[in-house]
Amino acid sequence: MKSIVIYYSLFGHTQKVAKIIAKKLDSDLLKIKSEKAYNIATAVIEGKNDIETKHLPKLKKYNFNANEYDLIIIGSPVWWDSITPPIRTFLMENDLSEKNLKFFSTFGQSNGHIFSDAIEILNNLEDVKAFNSTKTNNNHKIKMEIDDWLG
């Protein structure tokens, strides 16, 4: 079964989890980047506004064909209780309606409504997992959580 882990990460927590998952499953890995990169200041102001208005930022070019994969795993940090704008753009640009999907998030304080937001876009999404980013410094613990999630 061919799989891919697709993620967005600003501070590295989501990237760390994505890389561990990709290594465990021997998956391809795709980091999503917006053309106009967020930083801590712009994430606070522009990122929040983009989430509230459901603005879809333009993404840097990426190479992805959903038909090449049996399993697609998508990861996003939680911003203002929701999916990051770059991941929302990716989800809106790609038809994943017939795919086997998993979705994970990393969060600091709360997972918010990120999963209901993801399910709103991805009607066929059934498998979700939240990783507390304060725990991503413990590789052993994260690997155990990933093993429990993926089986």
Summarised one tens digit per residue, pLDDT across range 33-90 is: 999 888 887 877 788 888 888 889 999 999 999 999 999 999 999 988 889 999 999 9
Give CA–CA dist 17/106, Å, rounded: 8
What is the number of domains present in the chain? 1
Query: Mean pLDDT for the chain?
Result: 87
Distance separating alpha carbons of residues 87 and 85, to the nearest angstrom:
5
pTM value? Answer: 0.90
- The CATH number covering residue 130 comes to 3.40.50.360
Q: What is the H or E stretch that residue 5 is in?
A: strand 3-7
- CA–CA separation, 98 and 96 (whole Å): 6
Host domain of residue 82: 3-150
Cα(72)–Cα(83) distance, rounded to whole angstroms? 17
Question: Rounded mean pLDDT of 125-149?
Answer: 76
